[in-house]
Amino acid sequence: MSTRTLPLLFINLGGEMLYILDQRLRAQNIPSDKAKKVMNDIITTMFNKKFLEELFKPQELYSKKALRTVFDRLAHASIMRLNQASMDKLYDLMTMAFKYQVLLCPRPKDILLVTFNHMDAIKDFVRDTPSILSQVDETYRQLLEIYTSLSGGEFQLIRQTLLIFFQDMHIRVSIFLKDKVQNSNGRFVLPTSGPVPYGTQTPGLIRMFSCSGEEIKRVQFRDGGNYTAALREGSFELFGDRVTKLGTNMYSVSRPVETHMSGTSKNSSQHTKVNTLPNPLAKEELNLLAKLMGGLEVQKPSHTDSGFRVNLFATDEEEEYVWVFFIHSSDKQANAELAKIMGEFTEAGDSSPSSSSKGDDLLAMMDGL
């Protein structure tokens, strides 16, 4: 439908991914220089000039599978490694978070404010690195140029296109369940109270006019909700108060983050099986964006300190650990150890997290054991 949807989808999902990674890196007390490097490398890749040029071209939305491939590559754009299960969980969280934000936007144009919230946070992540900062600023300018002049109707078309992409996704996310914004059936809570969107009047008033334009009758009806007047409009400029909290970082340092897979859907008629998991043994859905992503070079660390593991999604209730690895090809001993541990946790038949060139290094190492 709308040919302007892909940049918003990519930037917002990317933003959510960064929030999650940042939270886990901090929660696991990863040394700040390493954590910063991971974040910087991913952000640099996200806002690569050539990649963005392709992203911002008018085009139809990618399929779920194709977009997943792009994010698999983005997640591996640094020295960090995720195995299949970790990547799945990360992607579930990212997509459900953005689905929630799109659904709850009071008016379609607010999706742009959500995007700016993500951009503002990304800018903050790289505030100490001027080279990356300028890439981020350039993206802001492109967003402003393309989106600020779009009408409400065009934003609604973008929103409708996004909602088709997110259709039938009801994965339960524990942070949403805890905050009571999601029901146990995976559907989001839509409140019938609070401020109305900017530009809307609170429901209740009927005004009737004569043929000459005079107001002849005024009636109030009971609207059944509990709405209040609209808040001030958020800023659509480079800097400013966005007003909406949607799109801001909902992960505080101490909160554990995990997902529950919703399992078999109760209502069989809605269970359309969509396979979004790229099978590493089969050919990836190589779309242009994924190719551009995979071809981007990131500097490998030159020092020889050993890698270490990080729990991406450990929970108290379930003793399920998923490993994140930092690969240093110069340290054979540590690599052998890491590869061995990784071998214990990957599923049968699934020997590599991705088939990008960095994944190939790992495969080669494992073959050599």
Partner 1 sequence: MAKMYHKEKSIQIKSSASALYNNLSVLRIAPRCLTYFTVVHANVVNMVSASWDGLNYSHRQLQSKEGNVATSSSLIMQAAWCVLPSRDLLVLTSQKGIQMYESDGSIMVYWHALDTPETPTAQAVFARGIAAVRDKYICVGVSSGSVLVFDVPSKGSNITLSEVLEEHTEPITDMASECSGSMECIADLVSADDSGTLCVWKSGGDFQLLNKIPGFDTSCSSVKLWKGTVIAGYGTGQIRLYEGVTGILHAEVNAHARWIYSLDIAPFTGLLLSAAEDSLVRVWHLTISPETNNVEIEHLYNECVTDSQICGAKFCDGDGYAFAVTGYDLSEIIRYTQA
Q: Which residues contact partner 1 by CB under 8 A? A: 1-4, 57-60, 103, 106-108, 151-154, 156-157, 159-160, 163-164, 167-168, 170, 183, 187-190, 192, 196-197, 199-211, 213, 216-217, 219, 221-225, 227, 267, 269-270, 272
Give the pairing type, strands 193-195 and 226-228: parallel
CA 92 remoteness from chain centre: 9
- What crossing angle do the helices spanning 64-75 and 32-46 adopt, rounded to 10°? 140
Q: Which is nearer to partner 1, 151 or 330 (CB)?
A: 151
| Amino acid in position 137 | D
For residues 135 and 129, what is the distance between their CA atoms, to the nearest angstrom?
10
Shortest Å, Cβ 88 to partner 1: 22
Structure tokens at 295: 């071809």
Q: Which is nearer to partner 1, 196 or 296 (CB)?
A: 196
Shortest Å, Cβ 352 to partner 1: 30
Q: Which is nearer to partner 1, 68 or 159 (CB)?
A: 159
Q: Which is nearer to partner 1, 130 or 153 (CB)?
A: 153
Q: Which is nearer to partner 1, 217 or 303 (CB)?
A: 217
Residue 346: CB atoms within 10 Å: 16
Please state the φ and ψ torsions of residue 310, each to the nearest 5 degrees.
-130, 135
- What crossing angle do the helices spanning 152-165 and 84-104 adopt, rounded to 10°? 150
The H or E element spanning position 142 is helix 130-147
Shortest Å, Cβ 204 to partner 1: 6
> Do 8 and 150 meet the contact criterion of CB atoms below 8 Å apart?
no
Q: Which is nearer to partner 1, 195 or 256 (CB)?
A: 195
What are 260's strand-pairing partners? 172
Shortest Å, Cβ 295 to partner 1: 23
| Amino acid in position 293 | M
Shortest Å, Cβ 326 to partner 1: 40
Shortest Å, Cβ 47 to partner 1: 22
Shortest Å, Cβ 239 to partner 1: 26
Label residue 168 left, alpha or beta by phi (over 0 means left) and psi (-120 to 50 means alpha).
Answer: left
